[in-house]
Structure 1
């Protein structure tokens, strides 16, 4: 029976990489629950500001013009005050956001800072600020996963990856886009689409999506009308749309940068700067209430029904001004959804212009959706993620071909005018510095895990079988009477000995692998990787030379070395 158990363990033994996927699934669950809590908090605060719930655009339209002015200003003042408190917390200067923590830090996000910044974002969003709620959702998802990783004392590579899983869960929950959410974090934040990182991110995204679908239901983020698939020569106008969007995107990012510089030069404290940004949004909303919020309802309206070109142009100009004021003032939130808004309105305007030249040449809803993806590709410099994001958010595969062409075209043109994306520009120097430091300064000593139970050369095969059955490892390390590491015994060899009924006559010394490879604590990652390359197992012992005795310190895994090397080399 014991022999059968050993053979079963040998076949079904979980690998460290697989157990990380289980933690990724849990990170997806906690990340999704964090976004659900944020959604509910927005509704609660929105009712407190306006005594209404539902779409912010509908709420703004129901309010008096004077109310639309003071509510965003008050919300900005309160949000700024909370940000001031957050900046006065101990260690506030070194507290990273999720991108910095994953790309250049140790994956640890301090809950105090994140919660205060999320409260500031809540106050801005609930009072009508022209900014996306999804940025704070992703930050909360990453923070929840970071806390989970700290609770089980993950080392740096695993902590960083688990935090990334929480961010992917936040994106998947916010946009109903699990594939694009995982690819966003992998491509933009981690800087690599290697399976060692992408696999756990996909698991986290899927588990988050399952939770969200159970809690708030399943529906496409944007509703697309039905139409015939676009193919053949009909895709050519969308290629031109992508190229034009590649010109618009850098101008949009330049406008946001200029607004930040302008507000930074104002001799006002932070709280008053956010209040001024809210006041500008309020003044704009007196004449165009559709600038409130992230613009989901407006984009759905553009996709679902025809708009006149004058209305499109007006709402586009108003949204650009309101978003620039909100972002420039320093409000906490994302520009991802406002970017989609700009893309949708520009695409619909393009359809009007094209149809004025050649009637019936373009579908306004298709042009709007394709331009959303093109705008996203041009601002993030991640065309593959953008294609998948729009496909998942609209669930409209009729636009797949023109969407692909437009995204690649927009990305290619935008790179000519702006080298850095909206995210990569702020992360490039951090990635470079952190990558060099990780290779130079990290040693095997930073990755040592407590060693599994060791055995002596005199341990019988029957006793070895009992230890293997209890601890589920591939190898047991053997130490002599002086505590020195002398080799290892394999689960496969013990299982074979048990099957041959050679138990009474065999000991660990008889099946000892004396030339078993080992790492040293001062070994760098490159040297460790070379040792792992000559060994088919996942785990290796770490030994130190103390007075001529190779003392067993613990073990390190190939997965941890690969995660650290992969994250460092892609920066």
Structure 2
């Protein structure tokens, strides 16, 4: 009897990988060809019109318009599409959670089309790498895949994008291995090769040659002989030296632009296009198109002055474009610069040897040498030039010059350019983060929670409901006699009402029997695949049906976060719940509760005064928390801790609260994780507001406010108020925990608060900004005759300013405070810089602002307004975030 195999049987993992690789290569090729045809069409129109209309007017105008439109697209829709795109792909392959999806791919395509067709001297191959990777990432979301497989698809997309851009399939694979992935596993290599060759072949069929070098092996001599070795070594040294200068120039100009040029991204890119257009208009027509310029240099038609001019033109305008973070790649500029250097060396040889030189050979060799030195990929550079020329005579010259250039560039400017560009955005790729195979190396036993709350299948449904109400867990494994028999989640509780089950019914009536499980030896890659494939939030870990642990998505995110913060340290066991080692209670007479974690005796009096003022205004109670960290290998419930200093600090705080007649509670917790202890207290004590100190900046890579504050502000369900005390607080507070010293510090604190007269409140109309306005009366209650300045920062525009929100907030504060309130509308391209300048100009004592609405990762990469204000302001900064709904 013949059995027809099912679809899932036919589509084995290996066959699925082949299908995905071919599909990625096909889509990447179509995108690359579309970009190439679009640039040829629009760029051709620009060149043709520049021969008819005045070039000095048309070229700058087109450059300005194209830059503005591209900048608006990137700035408004996909900030991840700025620059060349290769650094973003490298970060994504190193497990940095940057956005790579269909949105990024489309914006990258359109913005690159606009910039390159309007005269920017950049290339399209870098963008096609990001486009290919972004399309592959989107595919990996549509088809459930493990993290390792997603990473392999990203690598395949990047390889296909480069192959389609250059018509160089082998070079696409080599670039991914040499620079991006640094992984030669069989599956990764096979997927990348198949996608790369598909992209290269389809691109060649649909779009023709990727680059028009004008090289003809029958017409242009490229024979290699021994007397050329000194000249090739000279070319390698020149290419390496100028490549190092080129890399340092890109990093320096980009850093200068971000710190000193206070313009929006569209304005920056528009001005870069204007400069490029003006420069091209002043030079011969060959400089107006990068394809023609590259052909001009490689086939040996340029003289000395033209070649030097081409080098300077390309070098300077590439730095201008890169400083504005223009969408466009660095591959073509590197090839043109290398061709110019090679042509100069070839002409020098021709002069010294009386017409026996080969400028074409040196022009092509210089392309590979300079590109390999800039990107630090000498093998890829050799392969690209060889695939474009298909000339075996080029191999030895390319090897000599490329290796020499790479060694010189690495000596003068060590490290990858793309890594340096990521570091400018605060993303630090530690050694080994790209190649360590994190998800394949870690096992379920490394990250699972070994202490698991379980239920019995013989429990009544009333008992199950009570268990859920007492716990923050959303699901429990069901265990009988030590063996896993099922799992029950909150969604299973709906079956009680749907099936009208009595409370005396047993748990086995609603639980899910035979749940999906993993073994302790399974890789984390397999665990993530199951979580994604079946849309689960947790998986029991078993050994021969015996439950040994459980893994949740938060456990995996914790591991990823620890890895991204740079630790090469071994994965630590998951933190156990915090343990209350000391506690005092007062009558619960308030209408809400403020949680005040205290850690630094210097800042404790100031934070306590602020908490008491808010509690008095809102009729809240104050819960004061001291957290004592214990080693991960010790249990918080069992380790001995010294609470003497903490209890003195809490006792002083209790006396202050008694003087204010505020209900006061206190507790000391032992914990593995400070942030976890704070979050557990928020949940257990039903806290309405969390008030805590904040240093104002952090040196931890990938963090905005610091490890603890970042976690708390992201996860705490209550209102959050962060306070960065001004620099002059150090003059009135003492580094001691003694009661007498604390009392003295409290007097100074009250005096200091009374000196905080000038308050600056930036508003933006969002929920956090409006909440800061309602909180202000409590904040200024310790200040005598406060001066309130409400400001709103508007973008520079000719349209009339809408100050309705500003007027409404000012009227509210005047009614509540009975004090003058000044309204200050400001026009600026940067909110942070406008607020900082205003605070310094008016000598403000306090800045109160709402938390940004952007995601924390986006803030880290593209600039966090509260962090920037706090870092550059000497006054006190208070950041308010309304409760997460």
TM-score by structure 1 length? 0.71
User: Aligned pair 1:148/2:143, yes or no?
Assistant: no
Aligned to 2:171: 180
Cα distance in 1 for partners of 2:125, 2:525 equals 38
Task: After superposition, give the CA deviation of every residue in 1:416-475 in whole Å (9 maximum; x if it has no partner).
Answer: 10111222434683354856793699544999xxxxxxxxxxxxxxxxxxxxxxxxxxxx
Aligned to 2:100: 109
TM-superposed CA distance for 1:283, in Å, is: 1.5
Aligned to 1:318: 313
Q: 2:160 aligns with which of 153, 164, 169?
A: 169
TM-superposed CA distance for 1:100, in Å, is: 2.0
TM-superposed CA distance for 1:180, in Å, is: 0.4
TM-superposed CA distance for 1:368, in Å, is: 0.7
Task: Identify, as 1 or 2, the structure richer in strand.
Answer: 2
TM-superposed CA distance for 1:123, in Å, is: 1.7
TM-superposed CA distance for 1:375, in Å, is: 0.3
Task: Identify, as 1 or 2, the structure richer in helix.
Answer: 1
On the 8 A contact 2:129/2:157 being kept in 1, the answer is yes
On the 8 A contact 1:121/1:136 being kept in 2, the answer is yes
Q: 1:196 aligns with which of 174, 184, 187?
A: 187
Aligned to 1:287: 282
Aligned to 1:136: 127
Distance 1:526 1:36, change over 3 A: closer
Aligned to 1:159: 150
Distance 1:27 1:444, change over 3 A: farther
Alignment of 1:185-224 (within 5 A): 185-218=176-209, 221-224=212-215
Distance 1:63 1:415, change over 3 A: farther
Task: After superposition, give the CA deviation of every residue in 1:192-222 in whole Å (9 maximum; x if it has no partner).
Answer: 3444322211111111122123212357642
Max Rg structure = 2
Distance 1:329 1:287, change over 3 A: same
SS state of the match for residue 261, structure 1? helix
User: Aligned pair 1:255/2:249, yes or no?
Assistant: yes
Alignment of 1:111-510 (within 5 A): 111-218=102-209, 221-226=212-217, 227-264=221-258, 265-288=260-283, 289-293=285-289, 295-426=290-421, 429-430=428-429, 432=431, 434=433, 438=438, 442-444=442-444
Cα distance in 2 for partners of 1:527, 1:201 equals 21
SS state of the match for residue 429, structure 2? helix
Task: After superposition, give the CA deviation of every residue in 1:328-387 in whole Å (9 maximum; x if it has no partner).
Answer: 112111111111010001111122233333323531111110011100111111111111
TM-superposed CA distance for 1:394, in Å, is: 2.2
Cα distance in 2 for partners of 1:158, 1:125 equals 34
Cα distance in 2 for partners of 1:368, 1:212 equals 26
On the 8 A contact 1:520/1:543 being kept in 2, the answer is yes
Task: After superposition, give the CA deviation of every residue in 1:24-43 in whole Å (9 maximum; x if it has no partner).
Answer: 12211111112223234435
Cα distance in 2 for partners of 1:396, 1:175 equals 16
Cα distance in 1 for partners of 2:233, 2:287 equals 29
On the 8 A contact 2:238/2:341 being kept in 1, the answer is no
TM-superposed CA distance for 1:282, in Å, is: 1.5
Task: After superposition, give the CA deviation of every residue in 1:101-131 in whole Å (9 maximum; x if it has no partner).
Answer: 2233469613223322432222211211111
Distance 1:218 1:290, change over 3 A: closer
SS state of the match for residue 394, structure 2? helix
TM-superposed CA distance for 1:179, in Å, is: 0.1
Distance 1:417 1:218, change over 3 A: closer
On the 8 A contact 1:107/1:156 being kept in 2, the answer is no
Cα distance in 1 for partners of 2:136, 2:525 equals 29
Q: 1:85 aligns with which of 59, 72, 76?
A: 76
SS state of the match for residue 544, structure 1? strand
SS state of the match for residue 330, structure 1? coil
User: Aligned pair 1:20/2:17, yes or no?
Assistant: yes
TM-superposed CA distance for 1:285, in Å, is: 1.0
SS state of the match for residue 519, structure 2? coil
Cα distance in 2 for partners of 1:343, 1:223 equals 16
Cα distance in 1 for partners of 2:205, 2:308 equals 39
Distance 1:62 1:434, change over 3 A: farther
Distance 1:303 1:40, change over 3 A: closer
Cα distance in 1 for partners of 2:412, 2:174 equals 25
Cα distance in 2 for partners of 1:220, 1:255 equals 26
Task: After superposition, give the CA deviation of every residue in 1:385-438 in whole Å (9 maximum; x if it has no partner).
Answer: 111011012222222111111111111111110111222434683354856793
Instruction: Tell which has more relative contact order, 1 or 2 (C-alpha 8 A, sep 6+).
Output: 1
Cα distance in 1 for partners of 2:541, 2:274 equals 64
Cα distance in 2 for partners of 1:414, 1:358 equals 29
Cα distance in 2 for partners of 1:406, 1:252 equals 18
On the 8 A contact 1:176/1:209 being kept in 2, the answer is yes
User: Aligned pair 1:39/2:36, yes or no?
Assistant: yes
SS state of the match for residue 542, structure 2? strand
On the 8 A contact 1:225/1:365 being kept in 2, the answer is no
Distance 1:210 1:117, change over 3 A: closer
Cα distance in 2 for partners of 1:254, 1:291 equals 25
Distance 1:437 1:174, change over 3 A: closer
On the 8 A contact 2:167/2:201 being kept in 1, the answer is no
Task: After superposition, give the CA deviation of every residue in 1:117-152 in whole Å (9 maximum; x if it has no partner).
Answer: 432222211211111122222222222222222111
Unaligned runs of 5+ in 1: 90-95, 448-481, 485-517, 529-541, 554-564
Cα distance in 1 for partners of 2:359, 2:99 equals 45
Cα distance in 2 for partners of 1:192, 1:168 equals 13
TM-score by structure 2 length? 0.47
Task: After superposition, give the CA deviation of every residue in 1:293-350 in whole Å (9 maximum; x if it has no partner).
Answer: 5x22211122224211011111221222221211111211111111101000111112
On the 8 A contact 1:103/1:431 being kept in 2, the answer is no
Task: After superposition, give the CA deviation of every residue in 1:508-560 in whole Å (9 maximum; x if it has no partner).
Answer: xxxxxxxxxx97247566999xxxxxxxxxxxxx9614874799x9xxxxxxx
Unaligned runs of 5+ in 2: 81-86, 448-482, 486-516, 528-539, 552-562, 569-885
SS state of the match for residue 214, structure 2? coil
Distance 1:352 1:305, change over 3 A: closer
Aligned to 2:745: none
Aligned to 2:663: none
Cα distance in 2 for partners of 1:414, 1:211 equals 35
Aligned to 1:64: 54
Distance 1:290 1:330, change over 3 A: farther
On the 8 A contact 2:101/2:135 being kept in 1, the answer is no
